[in-house]
Structure 1
């Protein structure tokens, strides 16, 4: 349990002043314009030391490395309606930024028929295939995640056949994809989808995938929006290639301040870095340690992040603290998100104060 508040080391230099000089009547060449010294990116230190990734004794542990979500893009009803579309050049930038994996949330349910055989629109499937290929060509791992399937959250029984049929089509489409492409069955199950009811849809969907993808890793999150507490009793199918995941947005009052889609909207002005914040983080690390000791499985953090309404400095502290903390117990994590929402980049490139703070395991 940590008893002191995080010590921040913020190093900054002043911009060099622009010098000027007088000119005489005989001078014909103007003095050279000094090159401004760029403002250095502030650095932060954290009370956690990353170690090598944890080794699973049951199931695989994926080589996630440093990871970023492609948020608010393919999981929208229409790509581009909430910001810009995915570009091929994005993946070269992500790779150059030191990332190894992208998580690709996709709203397949918005592009699939509501009647059997629940065919996914070919143009949308091709777009997912294209983006996956772009990322693969850039040397990145890809997590294809079924995101925002709202109908199944309230009616899992009525939507089960559609869910299974969509996964059968996705699996067939990516049958020949390299082993660096992984599937995630469902983002943040909640409402009627609890740890008790999830096997009813997970097991048949996994069976449909295995008909064409015998050994491809499949990622599974628990109920309650895959909150870290879902690890306590999350059921895992009898399959040697399933991998558990959870999401981390604690403290919620900080990470989602000003989020209008939350009712009631958490007020602006929350900060991160108190002794209580670090005590909570330490307790959550123990939850993951207990899970690994009990099951032999190694989960990863599929999402974490802080909304753009917080200051860049505060966001940098949060992304750095959370990623360092989980890396200190051998757990890798995937930041939300590349652009559009909780963004880590803008038209000028990476927001380096934040992305330079993100850590992963040492291997």
Structure 2
């Protein structure tokens, strides 16, 4: 019987994989609503999870510590879900941290008012016809991570937590999914040990929910790999665990925040280069080979770039490079048949929970477009023209992504091929005469924006920018922070390297000379300054000079010397 069951599942998987390749990514998207307006459970888990695409995270809200509004977002209202639904999302993940609302000793009772608030928020989303994923979130690092040293108590508390959640939501519709544990992690363990603890918790979760009866007997259960990591060792471990359960209503989950150096801008990871692209392709290829190609649905419970966007700080990642990341992610996820949940921490990122407006509408439009189609891009979204030099032709490489190039526009005016630009293969060259016209009076900064348009997807904006090599000045300060007077002259900062005379790396990140953007250094464009942070300065060797090289997006570099003497710091231009 078990062998027949797996054969049927495999045949179904092959059929669904074919459907995905043909571009049908949501077989059950038009399912009629059931109780409270929530969508009906589709015929198979694969179809149900496909119907959940795209998904969105109500981040930094019910998971905030200690309370719902502690991390800058207002209390969630149904208007939030109305907005999300209107923008095309079909499901929401509602992260919940239970720790601050639960007794820390047996019987680990969850506060009734908190449980009711969680139910209220879940019901708001269900009433909008959205699928909902409900989880145990920051508890993962607050107390679950201590399992190796406090095994029995942690296991008992985890069981008590899910026993209460399962009972509270027992009769909710099948469009509510439970997720075992967010980003499971365990202190002082090897991967092999961590996998064992993760298996033990997933087993407890599965057993308790299934035994609670009602809708929980067949409810889709989302189960994470260790760290929600997509490394093959973690995928294989979860696959083995799932095979042992012999339960088709299980949904593996992983997260993806990109190739780390690019995601946070460290170690010179300033661009969405071949390494970053390969990292993303490999992530989805492993997930597809292990699960979705066999008819097992996968939920990408979180994706994005770490600390981007962040409207409260200078952007770590150049905008065009971020757009390329989201464009490829949408394509690779669709190709792998994976449902994606955008991580949105709220007010300072994507959806402002107070105004119910997108903080960066153009960025969100690009994300939204990636759900259904590819877009063309280019090697850069900037063309830099040095004010101190004569204007010459500039060439960009088009990334067609399977599309056809239609031409260049400035607003409603189409540029003339042959006169304003030429195209040779993937090489797009803007002529000197066109750039002279676009640069106008050549004031520092963006002089004009043109668009490369393709036969599908979003246009690619190209900003014609006048600059000169930035100018830094000497400065004195302390290890609490040094602000270097800086004339950016139309340019923008990309990264900073820091070394000592003996070749050693200077700064808190000691494995690379290229320090982390916004952590070791931060531009202040409006204030004409460049801040070297306390984190960076206190890490410097006392009495030894460090050579800093600031790299700008135009390609310009500026070398700067910094010396720490006790609590004092001096900066000197080379």
TM-score range, shorter chain: 0.7 to 0.9
**Residue of structure 1 aligned with 2:219, choices 202, 216, 221:** 216
* Residues 91 and 130, structure 2, Cα contact 8 Å, conserved in 1: yes
Is 1:99 matched with 2:89? yes
Q: Which has the higher strand share?
A: 2
Counterpart position of 1:357: 366
Q: Which runs of 4+ in 1 moved over 6 A?
A: none
Root-mean-square deviation over aligned CA pairs: 2.5
Structure 1 residue 353: Cα displacement? 2.0
Counterpart position of 1:68: 56
1:246-296 Cα offsets, whole Å, 9 max, x none, are 011121223234xxxxxxxx47x8434222222222222221222127864
Give the Cα–Cα distance (whole angstroms) in 1 for the partners of residues 185 and 259 of structure 2: 19
**Residue of structure 2 aligned with 1:117, choices 95, 98, 107:** 107
Give the Cα–Cα distance (whole angstroms) in 2 for the partners of residues 189 and 138 of structure 1: 30
SS at match of 2:275: helix
Structure 1 residue 50: Cα displacement? 8.6
* Residues 143 and 183, structure 1, Cα contact 8 Å, conserved in 2: yes
* Residues 292 and 338, structure 2, Cα contact 8 Å, conserved in 1: no
Is 1:344 matched with 2:350? yes
CA change 1:132–1:272 in 2 (3 A) is farther
* Residues 292 and 336, structure 2, Cα contact 8 Å, conserved in 1: no
List gaps (5 residues or longer) in structure 1: 1-48, 258-265
SS at match of 1:228: coil
Equivalent residues, number = 300
* Residues 82 and 340, structure 1, Cα contact 8 Å, conserved in 2: no
Give the Cα–Cα distance (whole angstroms) in 2 for the partners of residues 295 and 195 of structure 1: 23
Counterpart position of 1:248: 256
Counterpart position of 2:334: 327
Is 1:303 matched with 2:314? no
Structure 1 residue 222: Cα displacement? 0.8
CA change 1:50–1:246 in 2 (3 A) is farther
- Aligned residue runs from structure 1 range 68-217, under 5 A: 68-77=56-65, 78-85=67-74, 86-149=76-139, 150=141, 151-155=143-147, 157=151, 158-191=153-186, 192=189, 194-210=194-210, 211-212=212-213, 213-217=216-220
SS at match of 2:300: strand
TM-score, normalising length: structure 1: 0.76
Give the Cα–Cα distance (whole angstroms) in 1 for the partners of residues 202 and 365 of structure 2: 37
Structure with the larger RCO, 1 or 2 (CA within 8 Å, 6+ apart) = 1
**Residue of structure 2 aligned with 1:228, choices 223, 227, 230:** 230
SS at match of 2:88: coil
1:221-258 Cα offsets, whole Å, 9 max, x none, are 011x111112132232513311101011121223234x
